[in-house]
Structure 1
C-alpha cells in the first residue's frame, strides 16, 4: 500500500511543474497495489500515471481510493488536444501491454488539463509543441502499432470507477479508450469542458463531456449525476455521457443527466459501427442550456461511412422547462439489428419537435408527448409533421403513443443533487401508467431502483414502479 497510515492530516504530494517531472506519482509494471488517502497536485502531464510498458507482464489488481487530485502543470495551447494528460491516467504505453482489474473509488479530480480520469490509451501522433491542433499523445507514452498489427479493445479491462467527483476539467470528467468491461457508477461529473464560445483567451478550447468513451466493448454507465458539461471551440459535444466511435455493448441506465450545454446522451458512430446501445430508465432534464434545440438523446453519424447497429431507447423521462427536441436519430443504421424508441416521456413547457429521425429504420411507439403550452411536432425520415395524427397516418409510427399530461411530480426539478421521490413520479391517475408495452430483459429496476413487477411494465417513463404521489 502507498498512502496515509494512521490518523492525522492527509499527506500531500506536490509534483514538479516542468516536463522533466512528467507525473507526481508513477506506477509502472506493478500489480497488487493500493494507492489511497492522498492529496496530489502537479506533475507536468499527470498527477498519477499508471502505465504498462512490458507486453509480457499483465498489470493487475490495482486500487485507487480516497485521492484528491488537483491540476497537472501542463497547460494546453488553445487548440491542442493531448490524450494521457490530467489527474489519474491508466494506460498501456507499449504495443501488447495490458492492465486488468482496476478499482477507482472516492476520487476527486478537478482543474485538470485535460481530463479527470483516463482509462486506456488511444494511439495518436507523438506530441509536437509546435502543432496547431489535432490529437496527440504525451511524448513518453506514444504507442506505435507495428506493420500488420491490430489495436484491439483489451488494453485495459475489468475496471470499476465509482463514487467519484470529476469536475471543472478542460475536457472530460472521465474518458475511456481501447478498453473493455468498464463500469462507471454513482459518480458526479460536472462542469467539464472549456465552454461554448471559447476563444484564445481561454487556455483550452476543448469540448467537454461528463464521460466520453471510444473504441470500447461493454461499458456500463449507471447511477451517475452528470450536469453543466460544456461544448468547446467547435460547439460540439457538451453531453452528460458520450459513447463515441467504434463502441459496442453500451448500457446507459439510471442516470440523472441534466443542465448540460448540449445533450444528455450522445451516441456518435463516427466512421465505423457503434453496436448494441441500450439507453433506459434515465431522467434527462433541462439540457440544451446553450443550444436550446439540442435533443436529450442524440444519435449521429457525421461521416459517410459507419453507422449505428442496434439501438434501444426505452423508459426514459425527458423533461425541459422550454422547448427543444427530445430524441434525434440522424445516423445511418446498419444491418437488420432493431432500432427501437419506446415507452419514453418527452415533456416540454413550450412547443418543439419532440421526435426527429432522418431515416425510416426506427420503430417508434408507446411514447407520451406533452407540451404544457402549445402542441408538439414530429419528423420522421426527414419529413416534418405538424400533429401526432398526421405523423401517425403518414408513417405508421407511434401508433399507440399519446399526447397527454403525464402528471409528474416536479417535472422540471432543477436541483444539482440526484433527485429523490416524488420528483418525476407519475400520479396514480396518470395516463402513462397504461400506455407502455412490455420490454424483454428490461433490467428489473426503474430509475429509483424500485423493482419492476407485473403490470408495472406497462408504465411509460423512467419511474415505473412503487408508490405514486
Structure 2
C-alpha cells in the first residue's frame, strides 16, 4: 500500500449568534440572498443588493430552501467557515456564487477552522465561482472545500465548479501527505446507515498550493476483499467501518490541479466514475504518490487528461501519472498524455481477488522516468494496447525499465504498442505476454510477433501539451502503419480523435498525413438540393442547398477525421448574391467544447451567376482541431434557400 493519507480531527468552531429577521417572502423559484463583508448588515433581510447581509455567521444561520441562491460580492473576503444549512431538490439546487464585477469572492478559513467551506449532509447544492483558502503558514492539516455525509443514505446533486482553491495548510515536508487534507475533500463517515454520494460533479476548478491532496474522496463504507480499514492518519475508530457501499456517477472534469503535496486527483470507494480533461502538474512533492489514482473503485474511466511533473521518490515508490490501486475493477485508461513524471506512466497495485479487466489504451508517455509500467501486489488482468512510449537517449530523471514486475502479476498483456526506447531500457517478463509490439531502440523482450522497423514518427519527443501530439503521427513508410492486430471493442478512435480503420496502426496515433480520407460534412439545416457530402468532395461543380424554409442560424460541421492544424477556411459558391452566406462564426472543437475563432465574419459576393467565387476567412492564430463548425447567421435568400459548393480548410 502507499503512504498517501490525511486527517481531519479538529472540532468546528461555534458560530457567532446573530439575530435572524423573519423569513423573506419566497418565490416559487427560490430567493436570492446577497452578502457584502464591507457594506452589509446582518439585521437586513439580505434579499437585495441594497440590503445585503455582512457575515458568514448570518449566512450559516439561514436554512436555505430549494431554488435559493446566496451571492457573495466580488472582490470581498470573509474569514471563517461557510457551513450552510438546508438542501435543494432535483432541478432546484441551492447555489452559492458571486455578484458584481471583479475578483472571485474569497472564503478564507485562515487556519481557524478545519474546512473553509463545509457542506455536511446537504443534497442538491452548487458552489460556483468562489475563491477558497485555509492557511496562514501553519503545519495543522486543513481543507479548502469539504463535502461530508454521515449515516444519511443517498446524497445526490452536489456540484463544485469554477472554484479557485489554494493555500491549504499542512506539513510542507516530503513524505507527510495526509488523505484527510485536500483542496476538495469528499468524505463519508458512519456505519449505521449506508451512505454515499450520487451524481456529483467537480468541474473547471483550479486547485493549487495544498500541502496534501488536490481532489480526493473516501468512505468508511469500504470493506471488501480483505480491505478492512482506511489509513491510520484519519484516526477513524475500528468499529466505524461498514461493507462496501460506493458513491456513484462521480464526474471530475476540466480541473487544473497543480503544485500539491500528495495525489492530484484520487477517488476511493466509488463506482462508475469519469475522470476526464484534467491537467495535473507537479502533484507529488511527497515521495509516494500519483497524479491520478483510484482504489476501492469499480468501472473507473480516466481519459483525455494530461499529467506531468511528479517527482522521483526512489525505486519501488509510486510517483507515476496513473495508478489503479487496491481493490479496483474494470478500469479504462485511454487518450491521456503523460510526460516527465519521475516514477513513470502507470502502476497497478493489488487489483483485488476478482478479475480486474483494466484496459490501458491509446495513451502517450513522453520522457517519463523510473519504471514506465509497474505491476505490483497481485496485479491480475491488465490489457495494454496501442500506446506510444517515448524515452529520450539523454533522460533528465532516473530510468530503469520499460516494464517492472514486483509481486507476481498475472495475465498482463502488451499488444500493438510502440516503444521508442532510446535509453535502451530492459523489460521484465514474469507474468507478462508481449505480442505484436514495435520496438525502436533497446532490447526486445520475448514477443510472439515483434516488429522492429522504423516507425518514422513526425516529431517524437516534442509534444508540449495534450493538444500538441501530432508529432507522434507515423509518416508514409512507417513500420507502424497497418501493422496492428485487430482488437474488438477498441474504442473506435486514436488519441487524436481519428476514426480507426479496419486495419489499425501500432501505437497511439493512426496513419500518415493524407491517409485519413476527406472530411465528413454534416448540417443542422437539412438538405433541399444536392447533398451535404458535395461540400467536401473536392469539386466546385457540385453543391449543397438548404430547404427553402431554412431557419438561421444553422450549422455546417466538418469532421476532419484527425487532429489538423487549421489556419483558414475557404467557402466556394455560385449565385453568391442570391444564395451565399453573408455572416458566419467559425468554431473549432477542443475535445470538450466549441470555441469561436471568428465571430460575425462578413462575406460579400460580387456575382449572381454560375461563376464560382471563393472567400477565405483566416483565423487569428492557427488551431489544432479535429472538427470545424461554420455557424451561418445570415445569408442572401433571393429564392428562400441558401447554398454552398465547397468548404475547405487549410
Give TM-score, length-normalised by structure 1.
0.80
The separation in 2 between residues aligned to 1:250 and 1:191, in whole angstroms, is 24
Counterpart residue number, 2:344? 263
Could you tell me whether the CA contact under 8 Å between 2:178 and 2:213 is conserved in 1? no
Counterpart residue number, 2:76? none
Counterpart residue number, 2:199? 101
Could you tell me whether the CA contact under 8 Å between 2:328 and 2:352 is conserved in 1? no
The separation in 2 between residues aligned to 1:110 and 1:164, in whole angstroms, is 11
Query: CA offset at residue 426 of structure 1?
Result: 0.3
- Confirm whether residue 12 of structure 1 aligns to residue 78 of structure 2: no
The separation in 2 between residues aligned to 1:118 and 1:169, in whole angstroms, is 12
The separation in 2 between residues aligned to 1:66 and 1:103, in whole angstroms, is 11
Task: Check 1:184–1:143 CA distance in 2 against 1; reply closer, same or farther (3 A cut).
Answer: farther
Query: CA offset at residue 399 of structure 1?
Result: 2.7
* CA deviations over 1:297-352 (Å, ceiling 9, x no partner): 22222xxxxx1232110000000112753333444345xxx532100000022322
Query: CA offset at residue 16 of structure 1?
Result: 3.3
- Confirm whether residue 279 of structure 1 aligns to residue 360 of structure 2: yes
- Give matches, 1:65-464, under 5 Å: 65-75=161-171, 79-95=175-191, 96-121=194-219, 135-138=231-234, 142=236, 144-145=238-239, 150-154=242-246, 156-194=247-285, 205-232=286-313, 236-269=317-350, 275-288=356-369, 294-301=370-377, 307-322=378-393, 324-333=400-409, 338-353=411-426, 355-359=427-431, 362-371=432-441, 376-379=442-445, 391=446, 398-415=447-464, 417-420=465-468, 422-455=470-503, 457=504, 459-464=505-510
Could you tell me whether the CA contact under 8 Å between 2:161 and 2:203 is conserved in 1? yes
* CA deviations over 1:204-235 (Å, ceiling 9, x no partner): x4423111211111111101000011244886
* CA deviations over 1:374-412 (Å, ceiling 9, x no partner): xx2245xxxxxxxxxxx4xxxxxx232221220011111
Query: CA offset at residue 253 of structure 1?
Result: 0.3
The separation in 2 between residues aligned to 1:234 and 1:465, in whole angstroms, is 37
The separation in 1 between residues aligned to 2:279 and 2:361, in whole angstroms, is 19
Q: Once superposed, what is the RMSD of the aligned Cα atoms?
A: 2.5
Could you tell me whether the CA contact under 8 Å between 1:427 and 1:468 is conserved in 2? no
- Between structure 1 and structure 2, the one with the greater Rg is 2
Counterpart residue number, 2:119? 27
Query: CA offset at residue 467 of structure 1?
Result: 3.2
Query: CA offset at residue 255 of structure 1?
Result: 0.4
Query: CA offset at residue 270 of structure 1?
Result: 6.9
The separation in 2 between residues aligned to 1:152 and 1:440, in whole angstroms, is 32
Give TM-score, length-normalised by structure 2.
0.58
The separation in 2 between residues aligned to 1:183 and 1:275, in whole angstroms, is 17
The separation in 1 between residues aligned to 2:361 and 2:384, in whole angstroms, is 6
What runs of 5+ residues in structure 1 fail to find an aligned partner?
A: 125-133, 195-204, 289-293, 302-306, 380-390, 392-397
Task: Check 1:227–1:406 CA distance in 2 against 1; reply closer, same or farther (3 A cut).
Answer: same
The separation in 2 between residues aligned to 1:274 and 1:171, in whole angstroms, is 29
Task: Check 1:15–1:70 CA distance in 2 against 1; reply closer, same or farther (3 A cut).
Answer: same
Query: CA offset at residue 143 of structure 1?
Result: 6.2
The separation in 2 between residues aligned to 1:405 and 1:234, in whole angstroms, is 31
